[in-house]
């Protein structure tokens, strides 16, 4: 009886454990397949790709007990993306000046477009962030896309990274002609509006007080002639000001239409 009881206990413990291991292996396999599909390459060091999807708000510690996140890869990916897009535009628009190239590049690498591309690529299904955060309302997806670019560069080098950005991102999701025509720098547009109407425009930006461990956010208010007309939030001062400017422009257009 005693032996039968022990066997029963072993089965009771081992079966759920094997199920957990199976699920973990299945998810790991799916992640590998996802990276292969979304990048168009065969990953070498899969751990670097996993890190690309860890937002700092997740507060995950590595084997050395230090917090692990994708900020360093994001920094690297941002630089790679900027350089590759600059080269694309330089060759695509040989008769355009530096100002045009700079503005067009900024429209492609801005957080709004990167967030949209990351969403379409399905990156949101793999991002590891604090559960309280609604990543669709933040720059987390765009940051993860830049971190993924950084991961490809670390794993495969510049040439493969360039092909990934060109084939899987720019050619797949960016209409260069449309982007070249569109101006989505709302802060610049608002300042230009102020100059045109001879009215002063300034921004008041401050860090939002949030719970410990959560990612810092900023609130920006756009004032025209001293009157605060619109405000916006973001994970950086720049993003918050862009959102504030966009909301202010909407309000100003409504006022002008009356």
Catalytic residue among 45, 64, 71, 78: 78
Dihedral angle computed from the Cα positions of residues 40, 45, 46 and 47, in that order, rounded to the nearest 10 degrees: -140
Contact 237, 246 (CB under 8 A): no
Convert the pLDDT of each residue in 178-232 to its tens digit. Answer: 887 776 678 888 988 888 889 999 999 998 766 665 667 899 999 999 999 999 9
Name the residue with higher pLDDT: 253 or 184.
Answer: 253
Q: Report the candidate in 232, 33, 208, 236 with the shortest Cα–Cα distance to residue 146.
A: 236
Report, as an integer, the average pLDDT of 170-182. Answer: 86
For the chain, domains (ranges, CATH) are 45-179 (1.10.1520.10), 186-257 (3.30.160.20)
Catalytic residue among 74, 143, 146, 239: 146
The pTM assigned to this predicted structure is: 0.65
Contact 220, 240 (CB under 8 A): yes
Is a pLDDT exceeding 90 seen at residue 153?
Answer: yes
What local confidence, expressed as pLDDT, does residue 180 receive?
Answer: 79
Dihedral angle computed from the Cα positions of residues 158, 163, 169 and 172, in that order, rounded to the nearest 10 degrees: 170
Is a pLDDT exceeding 60 seen at residue 25?
Answer: no
Average pLDDT, the chain: 84
What local confidence, expressed as pLDDT, does residue 78 receive?
Answer: 95
Strand positions, DSSP E, the chain: 60-61, 67-68, 201-208, 217-224, 227-234
Give yes or no: 78 in active site. Answer: yes
Give yes or no: 45 in active site. Answer: no
Convert the pLDDT of each residue in 37-60 to its tens digit. Answer: 999 999 999 999 999 999 988 878
């Amino acid at each position: 009886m005693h032996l039968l009881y022990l066997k029963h206990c072993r089965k009771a413990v081992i079966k759920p454990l094997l199920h957990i291991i199976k699920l973990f292996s299945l998810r790991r396999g799916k992640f590998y397949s996802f990276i292969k599909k979304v990048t168009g390459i065969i990953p070498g060091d899969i751990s670097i790709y996993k890190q690309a999807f860890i937002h700092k708000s997740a507060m995950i510690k590595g084997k050395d007990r230090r917090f692990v996140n994708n900020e360093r890869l994001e920094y690297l990916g941002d630089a790679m993306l900027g350089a590759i897009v600059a080269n694309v535009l330089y060759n695509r628009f040989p008769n355009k000046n530096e100002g045009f190239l700079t503005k067009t590049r900024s429209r492609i690498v801005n957080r709004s477009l990167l967030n949209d591309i990351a969403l379409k690529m399905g990156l949101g299904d793999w991002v590891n962030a604090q559960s309280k955060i609604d990543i669709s309302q933040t720059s987390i997806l765009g940051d993860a896309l830049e971190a993924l670019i950084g991961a490809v560069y670390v794993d495969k080098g510049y040439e493969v990274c360039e092909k990934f950005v060109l084939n899987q991102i720019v050619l797949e999701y960016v209409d260069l002609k449309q982007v070249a025509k569109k101006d989505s720098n709302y802060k610049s547009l608002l300042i230009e509006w102020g100059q045109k109407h001879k009215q002063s425009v300034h921004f008041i930006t401050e860090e939002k007080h949030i719970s410990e461990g959560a990612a810092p956010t900023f609130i920006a208010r756009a004032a025209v002639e001293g009157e605060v007309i619109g405000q916006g939030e973001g994970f950086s001062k720049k993003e918050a000001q862009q959102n504030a400017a966009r909301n202010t422009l909407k309000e100003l257009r409504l006022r002008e239409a009356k």
